Amino acid sequence: TTGWDYCVNPEQLGTTGWDYCVDPMYASGIFKFGTVSGADFELGYHWTSFNCSIQAKINNEGYVALAHETDNMNSIPPHLDAEQSLNYFKVYWDGDGAYPSPANGCGKCRLNINADACICPTKVKDEIVFTAQPASAEDIISSLYIGAIPPDIAGPSGTFISQPCDGFTVHFPQTSNGVYTRETIFELNHPYHGTKLFLKNTKSTVYLEGWEHATTILEAEDALPGGPSVPNLVLANETNRNRFSGAGYMHFEGAGQGYLEWIVSVPENIDATISFRYEDSWETTNVVDILVNDNVISPEGTKLGSTGNWDYWMDSESFLVPLNSGDNTIQLKYSDPWTGPRVDYLKIEWPTIPSSYSFRNAPHFMSLSQDYNDEGEGETTARDAYYETDAVLDHYHYHPNTAPFICIRLIQRLGISNPSPGHIEACADAFRTGTYSSGGQIFGSGDYGSLEAVTAAITLEPEATSAVLDADPGYGRIREPFLQPIQVLRSLEAELVPLEHHFELWELFDRLDQEPHRFKTVFSHFLPEYIPDVGPTIVPGYVSPESMVVNMPSIIAQLNGLMSLVRYGISDCFVDDGMSLGFGTYPGNGNCLDDGSMQRASAFFSYIPEATTTAGLVQELNTLLCAGRLSQASQDKIVDAYDSYSPAYDEAGAKLRFAYQLVMSTPEFHTSTTVKEDTTKSRPGPSISSSDAGINDYKALIFLFLSGGVDSFSMLPPHTCEGDLYEKYVDIRGGLSNETDPGIALPKQNLLEIPTNNPEHVCSSVGLHQNLQFIDELYKREDAIFVTNIGLLQFPATKEDYRDTNVRLFAHNAMQLETMREDLEGEKYGTGVLGRMKDKLSEAGFACNAYSIAGSQISLLGSPGVASSPIALSSNGMQKFIPQYEASWWTDGDLTPDLTPYILRLNNATAVDSSFMAETWSAKVSNAIYQHKKLYDDLEGDTVTANFKDASGRKSQLCKQLEMTARLMATHESRNAERDFFHVGIGGWDLHSKVIEGLESRFDDVNHCLKAFVEEAEHLGLWNNTVLLQFSEFGRTLNPNSGPEGDGTGKGCDHAWGGNQFIIGGGLKGGQVLGQYPLDFTENGPLVLSRGRIIPTTPWDAIWSGVAPWMGVSAEDMDHVLPMKKNFDSSALFTKDMFFNL
């Protein structure tokens, strides 16, 4: 008695109360009001007897949203309204995958008002799949998609008759007498992952229909009124009502025996469905007669119930009526003398016709009836959200690709960068079955995804344990930098000094580009598909993820840190010009002496070797530090060095420390491989290019990469344009970014308006983000160019063929890589666009160098052996390599000799069948040593005049990188450099939330750092010889997401494609905006995919076609530098003359 009757208004429980489950017109049936007002409980969903159908809304990409079509559109919520719904989901189209779309005219479906989707009637057909026993469990899995309630739950004992089969059980409803029906249930364990499944013998398919003719609306004001009392015409300016269509409506006020008559012409006999839209806010029921060709449709009359509220309109009951070829009359006649209804229009719906389009009916968990408040009066429940989330996670977890994907990543981390298919298969089988057998021992729980079984398969599979494979050049991996100091501390038995309770490895991230719990990006320390920039892995395409953080700064820091551990223990003793080069911190006391005393250490190596001979000692260290892989040639070199070393004192300790350092310098220590030395050749010396100064002028090209995907339509939105483009921009961005309208479109008053100076552009001016004032200044002095709607393109793409692009669109790692490579067709495999440019300029006689101040980058990589290798530098400056300890009061100085020649000898050239990974490490360490010495000397004492610090006195990563770039440019004469290529970049642009706030701070940083860099380049007299190009892997969706808070605030935008770009330089023909915006930002536009993802119209090749010739690349070499350039018409590419003042 305390419960609510949701059929009855609880505030009106008396005889006058409304029963929401009873039609007040007939006192039976179902509630029929179009709209209800009142308290929250009165505003929920109600049963209705109105005609209702489900339609499919299909966009240009074949995604489907549901739309409800009812006789009363007043009560359709936006998420179910055909014109407003954006709840698209993927479906699997039958046949050849074809579907109706705006791009192909929608077939017999109708185009929606926005012209960006097709609206189609639907029919759902549930069909039986198996009429006889299936051949196997695999057949069942591949054919059935609908789950079933387990038979023991679906009914009492005896409800089903079970028949065991090979690999599955068939449960027949008792009433089916053993005949296969749609209600038959198959019980089986999934053949792949073993999960118990119950599947219904049913296939549910959605078939699309269409209309031979579009729905016809005949306005009441256009009808012929008649009768003794004629209905009254009420025009829009004569009433406060506004929810009617057309110019007005007809009111049967005192119009007893009045009627409205429409003439309907059809070419042939046809059945059509007719209804009337009307309004009557009074709690009365009017009875009208409907006549077709003078024949009364319903002898009892048609009842028009109250619409419940003033100015709420609803459709009458609909009738299927025959229409004759030629003219037909349709009359609505009102017989009551009292005031009658208001009539808006006559609606005629023509028969639907079948189409050839269909798709498998997709499951969904969440009800489409939304809650009205937090108390949950609708049907949207947290329970269903949990169920759907679980189902999605299960789909990922049990997907056939999951096991091999995880196995590849884990095998890479645990020992082998390029695992064989057999190793991956063994690991995937262990993941799938939950068990792995080795040596008579079974590992794993037997459950799908058992990590015990997976770990056993990775570490015990013959590929991981066989010593024979050490001879395979492609086997093994480079060890990640963080592991080396951890290994030596364990293997050489690090011991705390008295009174110390722990030790700390300090700031490894800044030294090694790697540290636990600290990552440069969300993609961890390195990418699993990374191919090194030097060594023999390039040609076969072998990956070495760890090589991504193995470069000159990290190698020098790694060797300095390891040598510091040996000489001084964990301390801050290894110092150069105030910069600590070791892995430790100041413990609070002690002197820094390389004499074995470890006075300033918090911990030191306490290991005492057992060997009594030099060869035995080296073999012992080989086992401890290199897992026995140290080649005999390397052991011999270490033995010779050890025996010929005579320290001034502490002979035993000094020689042991010397041996430690030599072993830690070998490629076998830094990789998990073996080495074969090529004794017939030695590794080349310094790889920095040089030539006679003054032959060619100097030019610098800077590749600025903003990783994460910049929302560049906030950097450069339209301003004053054709076709109300700014207004369209505001609309698709969800409104303006202010307190009253929390969209992400930037208000015009907050933009820096700049003229395009391009008569072919759709905009006479565009807006620049207000935090990029310095770029605005550069543009005004003609030192900046903007390009609109540019991006990575393999060919001029359209909606019909964009999926043919040879890249995983909208994926960070893939599009970052390919933006730097600019070779989607793989013609110049393993090279980057700047590297190919450098190759051709080097062949032409230019002295070229390539520097990355942002880690190892493929953009700078050329073909092996053509030009000097790219050099990676730290934005924090350069460490001195293994400095000698000097103290005036300690006359004996440092006991350890200069290790450089020893390291180079231990990393000499290897044989062609030696380990690829070891050769990659040795090439990197040798190059690092040679490159470091030259650059360290060139940069020592060099300073800048511009202020790269922000208002707080700190330098951002971008400012540090650009400062280092300026310092290198200042040394071009001492380096005899004629062409320098630089890669700089920062992350943090992947703003899926709070995009407005995030861009403000990031653009502030870009603006400040570029201003300081330009000032320094001008001070050096090199600004006119410099060009900086800004890139990002993709733009972002124009349509925002809902934000993380659930209340519409903090919105972000997601991965898209085309965006906008800037180029700056003193020699530019600046002050112009090139490229083109699309004229339509909606999906109806020819270049716009869902959610405002724009297909670029200008390829990256266009930019390089103008810049490469300026750098000196000849016309004959352009196809090598830009292998995709041939796919574009010359009108789509820029020229040097368009970009530069010549």
In this prediction, residue 20 has a pLDDT band, given cuts at 50, 70 and 90, of very low
Rounded CA-CA distance 433/546 in Å is 31
Residue 537: predicted pLDDT: 84
Residue 18: predicted pLDDT: 45
Share of the chain above pLDDT 70, in %: 90
**SS3 category, 457:** helix
> Quick one: DSSP state of residue 497?
P
Instruction: Calculate the average pLDDT of the chain.
Output: 87
Residue 3: predicted pLDDT: 37
Q: Answer yes or no: is pLDDT of 7 > 70.
A: no
Rounded CA-CA distance 776/753 in Å is 9
- Tell me which of 553 and 76 has the higher pLDDT: 553
| Element counts in the chain: helices (H) and strands (E) | 26, 43
Output b/e per residue, 247-275; b: 16+ Cβ within 10 A. Answer: ebbbbbeebeebbbbbebebeeebebebb
- Tell me which of 69 and 150 has the higher pLDDT: 150
Beta strands at 160-165 and 118-128: parallel, antiparallel or unpaired: unpaired
Q: Quick one: which of 771, 782, 853, 783 has its CA closest to 1014?
A: 783
In this prediction, residue 16 has a pLDDT band, given cuts at 50, 70 and 90, of very low
Mean pLDDT on 361-381: 66
Q: Are the C-beta atoms of residues 1058 and 1096 closer than 8 Å to each other? A: yes
Q: Rounded to 10 degrees, what is the CA torsion of 957, 959, 962, 968?
A: -90
247 CB-side CA count, 13 A: 5
Tell me how crowded residue 186 is: count the other CB atoms within 10 A of its CB.
24
Residue 310: predicted pLDDT: 73
Rounded CA-CA distance 925/550 in Å is 9
Q: Quick one: which of 149, 212, 223, 234 has its CA closest to 183?
A: 149
C-alpha dihedral sign at 864, 867, 869, 875: negative
Rounded CA-CA distance 1096/1036 in Å is 12
DSSP, residue by residue, 915-938: -HHHHHHHHHHHHHHHHHHHHHHH
The C-alpha angle 80, 85, 90, rounded to 5 degrees, equals 100
CB neighbours of 52 closer than 8 A, spacing ≥ 6?
A: 68, 69, 70, 71
Residue 28: predicted pLDDT: 39
Tens of pLDDT, residues 557-594: 899 999 999 999 998 888 777 777 888 887 777 788 88
Q: In sequence order, which ranges of 664-761 are alpha helices (DSSP H)?
A: 667-670, 712-715, 725-732
Output b/e per residue, 668-690; b: 16+ Cβ within 10 A. Answer: bbbbbbbbbbeeeeebeeebbbe
In this prediction, residue 19 has a pLDDT band, given cuts at 50, 70 and 90, of very low
Residue 75: predicted pLDDT: 53
Residue 46: predicted pLDDT: 54
In order of 396, 415, 763, 767, 970, the CA distances from 1092 in angstroms are 28, 44, 19, 19, 44
Q: How far apart are the first and last CA of the chain?
A: 91
Q: Are the C-beta atoms of residues 552 and 927 closer than 8 Å to each other? A: yes
Q: Rounded to 10 degrees, what is the CA torsion of 235, 236, 239, 241?
A: 130
Tell me how crowded residue 665 is: count the other CB atoms within 10 A of its CB.
23
Residue 373: predicted pLDDT: 52
CB neighbours of 294 closer than 8 A, spacing ≥ 6?
A: 329, 331
C-alpha dihedral sign at 692, 693, 696, 702: positive
CB neighbours of 92 closer than 8 A, spacing ≥ 6?
A: 359, 360
φ, ψ of residue 658 to 5 degrees: the values are: -60, -40
Mean pLDDT on 751-771: 97
Task: Work out the burial of residue 46: count CB atoms within 10 Å of its CB; fewer than 13 is exposed, 13-18 middle, 19 or more buried.
Answer: middle
Residue 739: predicted pLDDT: 66
In this prediction, residue 887 has a pLDDT band, given cuts at 50, 70 and 90, of very low
Mean pLDDT on 328-346: 87
**SS3 category, 324:** coil
Residue 25: predicted pLDDT: 42
- Tell me which of 535 and 1055 has the higher pLDDT: 1055
Q: Answer yes or no: is pLDDT of 17 > 60.
A: no
Long-range contacts: 803-807, Cβ < 8 Å, 24+?
none
Q: Answer yes or no: is pLDDT of 513 > 70.
A: yes
Beta strands at 168-173 and 160-165: parallel, antiparallel or unpaired: antiparallel
- Tell me which of 230 and 685 has the higher pLDDT: 230
Mean pLDDT on 613-622: 97
Rounded CA-CA distance 711/717 in Å is 10
Tens of pLDDT, residues 86-131: 788 899 999 999 999 988 889 889 888 777 889 999 999 999 999 9
DSSP, residue by residue, 366-432: S-SS--SSTT--SS--HHHHHHHHHHHHHHHHH-TTHHHHHHHHHHHHHT-SS--HHHHHHHHHHHH
Residue 265: predicted pLDDT: 95
Long-range contacts: 804-808, Cβ < 8 Å, 24+?
none
Q: Answer yes or no: is pLDDT of 836 > 50.
A: yes
Rounded CA-CA distance 1074/928 in Å is 41
Mean pLDDT on 713-735: 94
Residue 48: predicted pLDDT: 58
Q: Quick one: which of 938, 886, 932, 873 has its CA closest to 574?
A: 886
Tens of pLDDT, residues 945-974: 999 999 999 999 999 999 999 999 999 998
691 CB-side CA count, 13 A: 19
Tell me how crowded residue 145 is: count the other CB atoms within 10 A of its CB.
17
φ, ψ of residue 1141 to 5 degrees: the values are: -80, 115
Rounded CA-CA distance 230/224 in Å is 10
Rounded CA-CA distance 12/614 in Å is 102
Mean pLDDT on 411-438: 95
Beta strands at 110-111 and 118-128: parallel, antiparallel or unpaired: antiparallel
Mean pLDDT on 521-545: 82
Output b/e per residue, 424-434; b: 16+ Cβ within 10 A. Answer: bbbbbbbbbbb
Tens of pLDDT, residues 1052-1069: 999 999 999 999 999 999
The C-alpha angle 463, 467, 470, rounded to 5 degrees, equals 85
CB neighbours of 942 closer than 8 A, spacing ≥ 6?
A: 967, 970, 971
List beta partners, residue 700.
Answer: 980, 1026
Residue 253: predicted pLDDT: 82
Share of the chain above pLDDT 90, in %: 60
Q: Answer yes or no: is pLDDT of 502 > 70.
A: yes
> Quick one: DSSP state of residue 1051?
B
Residue 371: predicted pLDDT: 57
Rounded CA-CA distance 554/571 in Å is 19
In order of 38, 218, 249, 511, 943, the CA distances from 241 in angstroms are 20, 19, 10, 73, 76
224 Cα distance to chain centroid: 60
Measured N-to-C along each axis, helices 651-663 and 552-568 cross at an angle, to the nearest 10 degrees, of 160
Q: In sequence order, which ranges of 648-710 are alpha helices (DSSP H)?
A: 651-663, 667-670
Residue 282: predicted pLDDT: 64
Residue 22: predicted pLDDT: 45
Q: Answer yes or no: is pLDDT of 27 > 50.
A: no
186 Cα distance to chain centroid: 39
Tokens of 358: 């269909």
Q: Answer yes or no: is pLDDT of 633 > 80.
A: yes
Tens of pLDDT, residues 157-196: 889 999 999 999 999 999 999 999 999 999 999 999 989 9
Q: Answer yes or no: is pLDDT of 606 > 70.
A: yes
Q: Are the C-beta atoms of residues 841 and 701 closer than 8 Å to each other? A: no
Task: Work out the burial of residue 1005: count CB atoms within 10 Å of its CB; fewer than 13 is exposed, 13-18 middle, 19 or more buried.
Answer: middle
Q: Quick one: which of 1045, 996, 926 has its CA closest to 747?
A: 996
